[in-house]
Amino acid sequence: MIIYIKNKLKNTGNLHRRPNSRNKLRAKSFIAVLLILILPAGAMMAAAEFADRDSLAMYICLHFSLCIALCMPIANWLENWMVNREVQKMNSFCVKLKQGKLNQRLELYSNKSAASTDELCLLQHNLNWLAHSVAKRESKFTESLAKTRKDKERLNLLSYTDHLTGLFNKRFFELKLVEACSRCISCKTPLHLMLIDCDHFKEVNDIYGHQEGDRILAELGRIISSSVRGGTDFPFRFGGDEFGAILVGVDSTRCEQIAERIRDRFAQIKLGRASLSIGISKLCYQAMDPETEAEQLVAAADKALYFAKNTGRDKIISPAQYKESPQPCDP
């Protein structure tokens, strides 16, 4: 009996040296049988040599009574010891996958040939494959999402930008002016609107051609953009030869200086009779409705621009200088 148990323990050690889930399960089963059945039975056989028949019968009844009483606890213990721990590891693995931790892996057994037909090992292999596939797809999805976000930002920028000059377009102006008015009214910050028109631009196109006219407009856009503050002021192109800028946080004197700098830089181009007429309007601090004030800003700046063109062109008209002009002029 002792030699048999010794051989079994030796074989169990060999099973542990070849680790796969089926062999581990066999080893655990043998140890459980050894502890529950063989050892108590061996103890009773040893006691039989020293006990009488009545005592032996009592020991046998006691053994079977204990086996029946401990059947359910031992079954639960065996289930947890032999099966549940492996299942719990896989369940924990699946929970981590659900939480997005896709870089983890279940440990596979080293003996590939023995594990090839092992269901538990195949299940672990499939779970690892699933985690790898999900991680790979998530990586591709993240890259695609980042590319889509960049494309969206680029398209949004194109939708708000004039292709010829690189300035913001009329659509952006209409959105930004109301937003700037709302912020400046709340913070009591000065805001000026500058409208710019290129005088005699039709004549430039007729004499020098549309390509030269486009070059002049692109140069005017560069002059306006370099004359205002990036990120604070907003230069834009209405369309054609009409431009403008929203100036935030500058007083009327500084605004007129910026307008004069734009007019002087453009005058250095000296192409035909091309010049700039500029009209300026100022935000009213007592305004309550940003949308209404934005409309009034545009109307006041347009009147000032019209007055500048009507009184000789190539000048700047600020709110303090503005007067109604009774005589219209040719565009």
3-state secondary structure of 180: helix
Element (H or E) spanning 293, and its range? helix 290-310
How far the first Cα of the chain sits from its last, in Å, is 119
Residue 234, CA distances (Å) to 91, 136, 137, 317 in order: 57, 44, 42, 20
The Cα–Cα gap between 62 and 325 comes to: 122
- The active-site residue, picked from 52, 241, 302, 330, is 241
Whether the CA torsion 19, 24, 30, 31 is positive or negative: it is positive
Residues 6+ apart with CB under 8 A from 41: 63
Question: 31: which 2 tokens?
Answer: 């140890």
Question: 268: which 2 tokens?
Answer: 């250095």
The Cα–Cα gap between 221 and 16 comes to: 80
What 8-state DSSP symbol labels residue 250?
A: -
In contact, 278 and 305? CB cutoff 8 Å: yes
Element (H or E) spanning 327, and its range? none
3-state secondary structure of 161: strand
Q: Confirm whether 199 is a catalytic residue.
A: no
Catalytic residues: 241
